[in-house]
Amino acid sequence: MVTERMADLSRRVSIIVAGGGLTGACAAMAAAQKGKDVLLVERSGMLGGLATSGLMTALIASGRCFGGYGPEFVRELHRRGATDPAHCRGHSWVPYQNEPMKRLLDEKVLAAGVDLLLYTSVVQVRKEGRRLAGIVLANQEGLEEIAADVFIDATGDGILSVLAGEDFECGDPDGRTQAPTMVAYYADVDMDRCFREAEPYGGFYPLLNGLLPLAVRDGFIPEPDPHHPGPFPIGDGLVVVNAGHVFGADCLSGRGLTDATIRGRKLAYGYYQFYKKYVPGFEKAVFVTTGSVLGVRETRRILGRHVLRYQDKVDCRRFEDGVMGYDGGPGSDVHASSASPGDYEAYADLYKPLQEEHTSGIATLPYRTLLARHADNLLVAGRCLSADRKVQGHLRVIGYCMMMGQVMGLAAAQSLDEGKAPDAIGIRPLQAELQDLGIL
């Protein structure tokens, strides 16, 4: 029966978006708002990906290149009381509560006319020459194959692309990736008192870093982590905590992810014990929850028709087929793979320029970066962008993922309008639209 359903390819849509993180949700909305028939397939029970199920901390975006859906989302999060405005920095740092973000995404995606399928995974593809013809979905009803004209891989891990035979890189030359983090929410925290009491120590981080050795001494955490981002206020008494790093995780295997997730949960609880015992303002803290998935920073980087290089960012390079602006100049956020001082110093050296006043120019992301090498009707971006790891570290944040998604959705819609594969569309009309939206 399943085989018959797979064989006849009876169901067809115009565009399939695999993965409903912020990249995929924005891609699907952009194409559906152009009147296209779009199916968005998400394996979990919610939209938002890491930005919701991973309990991500803040919506990070460039202060200078942030257009399209992003600013609208930020306004709506503020309006719904999902942020603590005293701790936001314009558009560029917006710590938000997770639940309102989930509902906002539900509303926006459905209002755009997207056909949304949750609890459904893409598990296989059918490829005919250089074209993807269909994908196989798995859910409560078993397996089903659906055909489409254009496919968008927004799975974060590049799963659709890998199933379709695309090449990828992962981690540094030794295959080591940025350590993941299990994010947690603690409630009943008096952050104002915490900040006040930290003043004599020179601020919150000097106080925290002075206390953290006690967490190792008491056995709350297994090893020192020189980079503990800590808690960020997101509401009355509520903080989101980036609870350390799960070093040595293998996030490309089922076993590895299982092990890392369990270690991450344990770490999040260990940090909670530490905060409650030692950090002022946390005495009455309640441990609310951890993310329903581990916060994975880095796995595959799919090799598209162009691979963006860190030097392109440093040089503020603007490409002829640029489709998205981003902050050029030095600096990126590539978390350490291990707790070794050398790895931490490499992280800190690369991160430092980001904290300095931005005086560099704007670089652009070339359209070819979004195009799969071995399939003419497949676009791929988001966390698994075709980029080296230093520039991936910069562009993996939510603000840029939203813009990349919107670019892919608009490109897919234009390819249907022009009756051409995405790699053959006229770039100028796309660029003009993206300029109007403030994305380019």
Chain residues in the site for ligand FAD (CB under 6 A)? 18-24, 41-44, 49-51, 54, 56-60, 121-122, 154-157, 159, 180-181, 183, 242, 295-297, 382-383, 396-398, 401
300 and 158 Cβ atoms separated by less than 8 Å: yes
Shortest distance (Å) from residue 61 CB to ligand FAD: 7
Shortest distance (Å) from residue 29 CB to ligand FAD: 13
Amino acid at site 32? A
Torsion angle (degrees, nearest 10) of CA 5, 8, 9, 12: -110
Q: For residues 40 and 16, what is the distance between their CA atoms, to the nearest angstrom?
A: 6
Q: What is each CA distance from 169 to 208, 227, 303, 304, in whole angstroms?
A: 36, 26, 7, 11
- The alpha carbon of 19 is separated from its chain's Cα centroid by a whole number of angstroms, namely 11
Q: Which is nearer to ligand FAD, 214 or 262 (CB)?
A: 262
Q: For residues 157 and 50, what is the distance between their CA atoms, to the nearest angstrom?
A: 12
b or e along 241-276 (b: 16 or more beta carbons within 10 Å of the residue's beta carbon)?
bbbbbbbebebbeeeebeebbebbbbbbbbbbbbbb
Q: Which is nearer to ligand FAD, 44 or 337 (CB)?
A: 44
Q: Which is nearer to ligand FAD, 292 or 427 (CB)?
A: 292
Q: What is each CA distance from 216 to 14, 192, 207, 270, 277, in whole angstroms?
A: 54, 26, 16, 10, 13
182 and 264 Cβ atoms separated by less than 8 Å: yes
Shortest distance (Å) from residue 426 CB to ligand FAD: 27
Question: Which residue(s) pair with 18 in the sheet?
Answer: 41, 153
- The alpha carbon of 425 is separated from its chain's Cα centroid by a whole number of angstroms, namely 27
Shortest distance (Å) from residue 56 CB to ligand FAD: 4
Instruction: Output the DSSP codes for 168-234.
Output: EEESSTT---PPPB-EEEEES--HHHHHHHHGGGTSHHHHHHHHHHHHHHTTSSSS--S---EEEEE
Shortest distance (Å) from residue 407 CB to ligand FAD: 13
What's phi and psi for 38, nearest 5 deg? -120, 130
Q: Which is nearer to ligand FAD, 401 or 410 (CB)?
A: 401
Shortest distance (Å) from residue 418 CB to ligand FAD: 27
Shortest distance (Å) from residue 95 CB to ligand FAD: 8
Structural tokens at position 361: 């120019």
Structural tokens at position 438: 């403030």
Q: Which is nearer to ligand FAD, 96 or 278 (CB)?
A: 96
Q: Which is nearer to ligand FAD, 278 or 299 (CB)?
A: 299
Q: Which is nearer to ligand FAD, 278 or 336 (CB)?
A: 336
Shortest distance (Å) from residue 174 CB to ligand FAD: 21
Shortest distance (Å) from residue 278 CB to ligand FAD: 23
Q: Which is nearer to ligand FAD, 92 or 278 (CB)?
A: 92
Q: Which is nearer to ligand FAD, 117 or 421 (CB)?
A: 117
